[in-house]
């Protein structure tokens, strides 16, 4: 799959048609070997592509994503289809009356929606192990997890099936798959990207974000989704490295990269990291459990067993504990904002390790084996709690399993994240290495 920028340029010039690009993409998605795809939207995709071709014939503006195929995590509303949120129990439910706002913006920009993608049921997990739709496999090694809960989105891009895809991130559900699959991904600042028309998990933390295999594509899609360009960063970049827990459980290659990026940058510790992660667990479980309480009471066996028990536990949490966690978060966000005010970018690992094996989904934490599905987010959850924007970047690791970093910014400071990522690409520290069997062919 070519870059989104290259596809759009080829469609605008008439080198290829949007319909031809869509047909080839639909064929690749239908043959997906990674359990990334839940539904191929052939009829819709061909209609959208034909509309792009018709506009070109009339000499109309085709938009910045003219004819570019993409896919979305199966919690985005797609008009006239049920929004499953990764649960077969919703597959026969009511259909969406309209597309999610993010999908509307992409369509207006000329992009062509081709598929919905696998996820942990109701976005509760970091692995994309789904009892109804299967376990998504990492294109870099099909014996390994793709991460979650947006694993289908990451795998589709890493496999070259589409040049970008949409996911959602509550406690790391974009950043973890981006790290394990070797991609760029975004967790935006609160309210920067539109949530309207997405199935919720935990309202306090839910955000949407794109995955891409090319930094320029990511920036382009990010601009389209937010409805305006990100302001470029002016002046020198002030960078800090996160210490403490962020250096205690990380791959040595991640720490080496962080130190190479900014060897003279101060090493700072965020306060109460363990408490922030615990509070994030409490708030996530409480809000998820409250959302599903009535449906669980009516038919608990319709739920993925691995998710059902966690939602029931969340539904039983006392209000007072949730209120305490919320109050702590408000105080914590204010303290963090003051602490990081003098910096433009903070550096930290994303997932603490490379992708675990599907048949042995355990990871080492403090020298002991722990379940990957709930612990891969140990470095992302505390950052979620701060409300700061994050750009996930892949380390340049040809021939090795992917690893990623979080570039963490200030409110309104997304331009600094993109600038640093571009500089790190130029230095050969970050960049996407596609799997050997990825679909990287032409567009015709």
pLDDT digits (tens, 9 = 90+) for 86-123: 999 899 889 999 999 999 999 999 999 999 999 999 99
- Cβ neighbours around 437 below 10 Å, total: 12
Task: Give whole-number Cα distances, 22 to 37, 39, 162, 408, 432, in Å.
Answer: 16, 15, 10, 35, 24
- For helices 305-315 and 273-298, give the axis angle rounded to 10 degrees: 100
Mind listing the pLDDT tens digit for each residue in 58-78? 999 999 999 999 999 999 999
pLDDT band at 335 (very low <50, low <70, confident <90, very high): very high
Among 176, 65, 58, 183, residue whose Cα is nearest residue 113: 65
Q: Which residue has the tokens 């709930």?
A: 374
pLDDT band at 203 (very low <50, low <70, confident <90, very high): very high
E strand or H helix that includes residue 313: helix 305-315
Determine the pLDDT at residue 27.
98
Domains of the chain by residue range: 4-226, 239-390
Which stretches of 64-207 are DSSP H helices?
A: 101-108, 151-158, 175-181
Determine the pLDDT at residue 209.
98
Three-class secondary structure assignment of 103-142: HHHHHHCCCEEEEEECCCHHHCCCCCEECCCEECEECCEE
Distance (Å, whole) CA 337 – CA 355:
32
Determine the pLDDT at residue 149.
97
Six-digit token pair at 220? 């382009």
pLDDT band at 365 (very low <50, low <70, confident <90, very high): very high
Among 369, 352, 372, 351, residue whose Cα is nearest residue 361: 372
Distance (Å, whole) CA 17 – CA 336:
49
Task: Give whole-number Cα distances, 348 to 149, 184, 396, in Å.
Answer: 20, 15, 16
E strand or H helix that includes residue 430: none
Determine the pLDDT at residue 359.
97
pLDDT band at 440 (very low <50, low <70, confident <90, very high): low
CATH label, 239-390, candidates 3.10.300.10, 3.90.1300.10, 2.30.30.30, 3.40.640.10: 3.90.1300.10
Six-digit token pair at 96? 């969406």
pLDDT band at 437 (very low <50, low <70, confident <90, very high): confident
- Cβ neighbours around 109 below 10 Å, total: 19
Burial of 80 (0-12, 13-18, 19+ CB in 10 A): exposed
Q: Give the residue numbers annotated as catalytic, written as ranges.
A: 73, 149, 173
Mind listing the pLDDT tens digit for each residue in 144-163? 999 999 999 999 999 999 99
- For helices 273-298 and 319-340, give the axis angle rounded to 10 degrees: 140
pLDDT band at 439 (very low <50, low <70, confident <90, very high): confident
Average pLDDT over residues 310-322: 97
Distance (Å, whole) CA 417 – CA 188:
11
Six-digit token pair at 193? 């990207």
Burial of 94 (0-12, 13-18, 19+ CB in 10 A): exposed
- Whether 444 has a pLDDT exceeding 60, the answer reads no
Second-level CATH architecture of 4-226: Alpha-Beta Complex (3.90)
Confidence (pTM): 0.97
Distance (Å, whole) CA 395 – CA 354:
11
Report whether 407 contacts 391 (CB < 8 A): yes
Mind listing the pLDDT tens digit for each residue in 49-59? 999 999 999 99
Q: What is the mean pLDDT of the chain?
A: 96
Phi-psi bin for 382: left (phi > 0), alpha (psi -120 to 50), beta? alpha
């Amino acid at each position: 799959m070519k870059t989104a920028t290259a596809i759009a340029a080829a469609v605008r010039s008439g080198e290829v048609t949007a319909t031809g690009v869509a047909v080839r993409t639909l064929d690749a998605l239908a043959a997906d070997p990674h359990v990334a795809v839940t539904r191929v939207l052939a009829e819709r995709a061909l209609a959208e592509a034909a509309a792009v071709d018709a506009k070109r014939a009339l000499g109309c503006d085709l938009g910045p994503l003219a004819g570019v195929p993409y896919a979305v995590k199966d919690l985005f509303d797609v008009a006239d289809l049920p929004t499953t949120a990764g649960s077969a129990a919703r597959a026969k439910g009511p259909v969406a009356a309209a597309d999610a706002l993010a999908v509307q913006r992409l369509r207006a920009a000329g992009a062509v929606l081709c598929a919905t993608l696998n996820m942990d049921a109701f976005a509760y997990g970091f692995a994309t192990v789904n009892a109804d739709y299967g376990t998504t496999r990492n294109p870099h090694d099909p014996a390994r997890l793709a991460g979650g809960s947006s694993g289908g989105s990451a795998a589709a891009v890493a496999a070259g099936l589409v040049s970008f895809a949409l996911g959602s991130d509550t406690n790391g559900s974009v950043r973890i798959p981006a790290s394990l699959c070797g991609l760029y991904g975004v967790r935006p600042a609160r309210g920067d990207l539109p949530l309207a028309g997405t199935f919720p998990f935990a309202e306090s933390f839910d955000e949407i974000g794109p995955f891409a295999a090319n930094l320029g594509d990511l920036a382009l899609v990010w601009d389209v989704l937010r409805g305006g360009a990100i302001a470029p960063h002016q002046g020198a970049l002030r960078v800090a490295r996160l210490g403490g827990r962020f250096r205690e459980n990380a791959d040595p290659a991640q720490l080496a990269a962080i130190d190479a990026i900014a060897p003279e940058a101060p090493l700072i510790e965020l306060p109460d990291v363990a408490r922030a992660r615990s509070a994030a667990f409490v708030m996530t479980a409480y809000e998820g459990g409250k959302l599903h309480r009535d449906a669980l009471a009516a038919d608990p066996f319709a739920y993925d067993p691995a998710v059902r028990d966690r939602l029931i536990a969340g539904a039983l949490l006392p209000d007072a504990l949730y209120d305490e966690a919320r109050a702590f978060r408000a105080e914590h966000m204010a303290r963090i904002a003051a602490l990081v005010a003098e910096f433009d970018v903070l550096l930290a690992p994303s997932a603490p390790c490379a992708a675990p094996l599907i048949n042995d989904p355990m990871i080492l934490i403090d020298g002991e084996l722990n379940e990957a599905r709930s612990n891969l987010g140990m470095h992302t959850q505390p950052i979620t709690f701060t409300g700061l924007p994050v750009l996930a970047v892949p380390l340049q690791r040809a021939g090795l399993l992917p690893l990623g970093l979080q570039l963490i910014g200030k409110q309104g400071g997304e331009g600094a994240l993109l600038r640093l990522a571009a500089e790190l690409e130029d230095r050969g520290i970050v960049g996407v290495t596609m799997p050997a069997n990825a679909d990287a062919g032409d567009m015709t």
